[in-house]
């Protein structure tokens, strides 16, 4: 039987991929790579062309085999697929560490740099520098026993991090809540109520059945007049995968967190770092633990006093002390009173087809590209679509979208790689991405209707997608987002959010779903006025997450569960504003840090937000569709991938180093 995952050229045949294909394909590609690498290292005097480029090709093929497996596990999760995915993780971790610890390969790269460095172009030199750094961070210089231990740690960490994410998904799906009578649902949006009614009906129940996906959770804590219902969902959401709440102990990530922290600390120590935060910073713009903590603490000095004033005003508005599950509800009420606009009331003006049409038009204005749907491409679900992106030289790449919440799909929003751009002697491949969100699905014969917050999320993920697709780097290891410092990888996404807040732009992405009428000028003005509403509270929340993550990983010893709780309590005492109940187990579902790529790196969102606000100030000065400014950003930053020092790229675009002032001004915070 032909294995569709082994066809690494062109688009994946998602309709043909089965769980049983996964491990077989990954094992086969790894063995093929091992054999090819051994032959390559037999060369007496390898060159960039005869060794480095073929190694880039080998990694490209392995990524192309595994990317569809990881994606399917996230968007159509099943027990069989989960087992297949988890069977692949230790194989990949073992192989990647094996390559990283290959002393002969590292010596060959060093020799090529010494012999050919002066003749190579900047991107080729950066391929070598990036690879040599990765060799060092894989422990290539270590004696054999620590090398073996480091390899084992990488395998075990990959398993544990997957387990963490699985338990969050399982806990989320294990909870649902039934309401028998419509009276208990006062204040909820009609589409949320209708979806709950349909869910109950599908289970043979009367009344209303609410699942714990993100659209339902946000709708309930923001709009439900029934405080008991708000509390029920807040507690279910903030105790997922923990020892508390409605699924207490069933999917407890507490032991997983302890083990992940212990193994990360041990891995950092083997490589000679004092803690995991130091290891994390070896690949980032920020260079020291003190630089990151100083950065976050400086922002806290600006934002936390504003957040506390905002919260005091909110409690005064409510006329009583507020529990954590009350805050979104009363915030929405206060915003409505101050600005006469609500997210739910805006939905009819943001039908998804109109938003996508406008978003693609904006990208065309900025970067001279055209985006159009390509029908007939095999996908994993009827909701998924495929779009091609065309530049001056023809089709430059493409991306899939999967935008609605559903069962067996991971929560949140993200951009994922399908294939990375390559232009090698062995062949070429365009970049392809997955753009995934979890919006409320279409209902009652209408297209999906977005809140403005959803629109901002879509713009954010599309910014990541453009970063991946518009790269002009030919080598996969540093093309797109690859090789980009992780504390700068959010720059293009957070920059793109700014267009969703511009009066010149919102008419392009809005039209009433029934009449086609534009968003009224008065409503548009009121919406724009909400941008600084509770900006202090929003920033304080992100700073709480970032300081917790960074301080936890900057400890001289790994933390147990009691220490995790103590670090979080200490951070909340310093920058927290809203008081969570004792049952809150936020860390137990913090997938960005305990199963994702943001360990000791969640500060990256605020770091990149400073970069993005300053970068957008250049557009604001010249005009948000100014071709010269957009062309300069594309040439200096967006297309460069990891081929250039990010600070150097930013200065080339902006004419100076970044400043925090534009972010503070954007948020209405006094400097």
Q: What is the pLDDT of residue 212?
A: 97
User: Average pLDDT for residues 618-627, to the nearest whole number?
Assistant: 97
User: Average pLDDT for residues 299-323, to the nearest whole number?
Assistant: 98
Q: What is the pLDDT of residue 392?
A: 78
* Distance separating alpha carbons of residues 164 and 671, to the nearest angstrom: 40
Are the C-beta atoms of residues 212 and 245 closer than 8 Å to each other?
no
Q: What percent of the chain has pLDDT over 70?
A: 100
Number of H helices, E strands in the chain: 25, 9
Q: What is the pLDDT of residue 183?
A: 96
Residue 658 neighbours by CB under 8 Å, 6+ apart: 610, 611, 614, 615, 650
Are the C-beta atoms of residues 208 and 177 closer than 8 Å to each other?
no
Q: What is the pLDDT of residue 1?
A: 60
Are the C-beta atoms of residues 400 and 412 closer than 8 Å to each other?
no
pTM attached to this predicted model: 0.95
Summary mean pLDDT of the chain = 97
* Distance separating alpha carbons of residues 479 and 471, to the nearest angstrom: 6
Q: What is the pLDDT of residue 671?
A: 56
- Domain residue spans of the chain: 4-100+102-137, 175-238, 348-533
Q: What is the pLDDT of residue 436?
A: 98
As a three-state string, the secondary structure of 517-554 is CCCCHHHHHHHHHHHHCCHHHHHHHHHHHHHHHHHHHC
Q: What is the pLDDT of residue 395?
A: 81
pLDDT higher than threshold 70 for residue 477: yes
CATH 1.10.287.980 given to domain 4-100+102-137: no
SS3 178: strand
pLDDT higher than threshold 90 for residue 184: yes
Q: pLDDT tens across 235-264, in order?
A: 999 999 999 999 999 999 999 999 999 999
The separation between CA 89 and the C-alpha centre of its own chain, rounded to angstroms, equals 20
Q: What is the pLDDT of residue 649?
A: 97
E strand segments, 341-478: 370-373, 385-391, 394-404, 414-419, 422-424, 427-429, 432-439
Length of the chain: 671
Q: pLDDT tens across 494-505, in order?
A: 999 999 999 999
Top-tier CATH class for 348-533: mainly alpha
Q: pLDDT tens across 592-614, in order?
A: 999 989 999 999 999 999 999 99
User: Average pLDDT for residues 226-237, to the nearest whole number?
Assistant: 98
- Report CA dihedral (91, 96, 101, 103) to the nearest 10 degrees: 110
Name the strand (E) or helix (H) holding 662. Answer: helix 661-666
CB-hemisphere CA count at 13 Å for 505? 27
User: Average pLDDT for residues 132-144, to the nearest whole number?
Assistant: 97
Q: pLDDT tens across 62-113, in order?
A: 999 999 999 999 999 999 999 999 999 999 999 999 999 999 999 999 999 9
pLDDT higher than threshold 90 for residue 396: no
Q: What burial letters (b/e) apply to 81-115, b meaning 16+ CB within 10 Å?
A: bbebbbbbbbbbbbbbbbbbbbeebbebbeebbee
User: Average pLDDT for residues 303-316, to the nearest whole number?
Assistant: 98
Antiparallel, parallel or unpaired: β 427-429 and 422-424: antiparallel
* Distance separating alpha carbons of residues 185 and 201, to the nearest angstrom: 17
* Distance separating alpha carbons of residues 182 and 535, to the nearest angstrom: 34
Q: pLDDT tens across 635-652, in order?
A: 999 999 999 999 999 999
Residues marked active site are found at 461
């Amino acid at each position: 039987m032909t294995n569709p995952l082994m066809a690494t050229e062109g688009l994946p045949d998602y309709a043909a991929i089965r769980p049983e294909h996964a491990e077989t394909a990954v094992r086969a590609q790894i063995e093929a790579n091992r054999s090819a690498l051994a032959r390559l290292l037999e060369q007496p005097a390898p060159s960039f062309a005869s060794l480095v480029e073929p190694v880039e090709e080998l990694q490209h093929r392995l990524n192309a085999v595994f990317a569809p497996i990881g994606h399917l596990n996230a968007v159509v999760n099943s027990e069989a697929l989960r087992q297949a995915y988890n069977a692949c993780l230790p194989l990949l971790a073992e192989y990647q560490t094996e390559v990283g610890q290959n002393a002969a390969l590292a010596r060959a790269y060093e020799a090529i740099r010494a012999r050919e460095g002066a003749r190579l172009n900047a991107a080729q030199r950066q391929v070598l520098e990036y690879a040599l750094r990765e060799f060092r961070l894989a422990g290539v210089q270590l004696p054999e026993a620590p090398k073996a231990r480091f390899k084992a740690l990488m395998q075990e960490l990959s398993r544990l991090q997957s387990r963490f994410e699985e338990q969050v998904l399982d806990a989320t799906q294990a909870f649902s809540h039934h309401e028998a009578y419509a009276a208990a649902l006062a204040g909820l949006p009609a589409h949320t109520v209708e979806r709950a009614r349909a869910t109950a009906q599908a289970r043979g129940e009367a009344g209303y059945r609410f699942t714990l996906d993100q659209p339902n959770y946000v709708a309930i804590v923001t709009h439900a007049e029934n405080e008991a219902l708000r509390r029920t969902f807040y507690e279910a959401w903030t105790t997922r995968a923990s020892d508390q709440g409605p699924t207490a102990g069933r999917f407890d990530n507490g032991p997983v967190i302890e083990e992940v922290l212990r193994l990360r600390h041990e891995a950092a120590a083997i490589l000679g770092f004092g803690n995991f935060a130091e290891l994390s910073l070896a690949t980032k713009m920020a260079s020291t633990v003190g630089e990151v903590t100083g950065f976050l603490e400086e922002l806290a000095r600006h934002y936390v006093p504003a957040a506390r004033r905002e919260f005091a005003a909110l409690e005064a508005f409510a006329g009583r002390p507020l529990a954590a599950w009350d805050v979104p509800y009363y915030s929405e009420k206060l915003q409505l009173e101050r600005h006469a606009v609500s997210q739910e009331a805006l939905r009819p003006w943001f039908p998804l087809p109109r938003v996508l049409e406008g978003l693609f038009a904006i990208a065309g204005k900025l970067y001279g590209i055209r985006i159009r749907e390509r029908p007939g491409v095999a996908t994993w679900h009827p909701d998924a679509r495929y779009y091609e992106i065309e530049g001056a030289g023809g089709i430059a790449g493409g991306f899939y979208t999967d935008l609605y919440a559903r069962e067996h799909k991971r929560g949140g929003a993200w951009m994922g790689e399908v294939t990375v751009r390559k232009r090698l002697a062995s062949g070429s491949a365009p970049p392809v991405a997955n753009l995934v969100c979890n919006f409320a699905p279409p209902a009652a014969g209408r297209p999906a209707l977005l809140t403005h917050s959803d629109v901002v999320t879509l713009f954010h993920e599309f910014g990541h997608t453009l970063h991946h697709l518009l790269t002009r780097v030919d080598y996969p290891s540093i093309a797109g987002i690859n090789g980009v410092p992780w504390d700068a990888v959010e720059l293009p996404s957070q920059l793109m959010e700014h267009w969703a807040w511009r009066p010149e732009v919102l008419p392009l992405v809005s039209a009433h779903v029934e009449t086609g009428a534009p968003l009224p000028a008065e409503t548009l003005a009121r919406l724009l006025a909400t941008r600084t509403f509770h900006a202090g509270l929003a920033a304080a929340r992100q700073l709480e997450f970032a300081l917790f993550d960074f301080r936890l990983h900057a400890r001289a010893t790994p933390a147990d569960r009691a220490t995790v709780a103590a670090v979080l309590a200490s951070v909340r005492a310093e920058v927290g504003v809203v008081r969570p109940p004792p049952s809150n187990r936020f860390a137990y579902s913090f997938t960005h840090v305990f199963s994702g790529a943001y360990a000791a790196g969640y500060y990256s969102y605020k770091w990149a937000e400073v970069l993005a606000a300053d970068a957008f100030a250049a557009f604001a000065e010249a005009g948000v569709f100014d071709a010269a400014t957009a062309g300069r950003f594309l040439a200096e930053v967006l297309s460069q991938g990891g081929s250039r020092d990010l600070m150097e790229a930013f200065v080339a675009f902006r004419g100076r180093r970044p400043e925090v002032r534009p972010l503070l001004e954007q948020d209405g915070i006094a400097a």
